[in-house]
Amino acid sequence: MKLEGEGTLLRIHIGESDRWHHQPLYEAIVLEARKHALAGATVFRGPMGFGASSRIHSSNILRLSQDLPLVIEIVDREDAINAFLPVLDEMVTEGLVTLEKVSFVRYRKRER
């Protein structure tokens, strides 16, 4: 089955070492997104990046970075994403959150 529609892409840029209540922040965000019944979440780990501090984070062996950049992407209806933003306000103390309007195509197995 193929579902098409309009929605919002929520993209959260954080560091790998960021924490929320003694848990990696990226894990906490994904678990909260699931609790809020969002359509899905994916975490991407970047080999290199920098943020507002301009400090380079890299997987280069010479730099020995333990704080690589992470991006969490969530796509859902605009109202569902907007309802989740206050949760992020509480959890993310340093990072960047972006929102984009998107068109999506969702494929699902046909139920018999």
The domains found in the chain, sorted by start residue, are 2-107 (3.30.70.120)
pLDDT digits (tens, 9 = 90+) for 19-72: 999 999 999 999 999 999 999 999 999 887 777 776 766 666 555 556 789 999
- Give the integer Cα–Cα distance in Å for 60 and 34: 33
User: What's the pTM value of the predicted model, to 2 decimals?
Assistant: 0.85
Which SS3 state, helix, strand or coil, does residue 45 take?
Answer: strand
Q: Return the ∠ at Cα 95 (arms to 37 and 10), rounded to 5°.
A: 35
- Give the integer Cα–Cα distance in Å for 77 and 49: 29
Q: What percent of the chain has pLDDT over 70?
A: 87
- Give the integer Cα–Cα distance in Å for 12 and 26: 9
The answer to whether the CB of 46 falls within 8 A of the CB of 70 is: yes
Q: What is the reported pLDDT for 46?
A: 87
The closest of 75, 83, 72, 82 to 31, measured between CA atoms, is 72
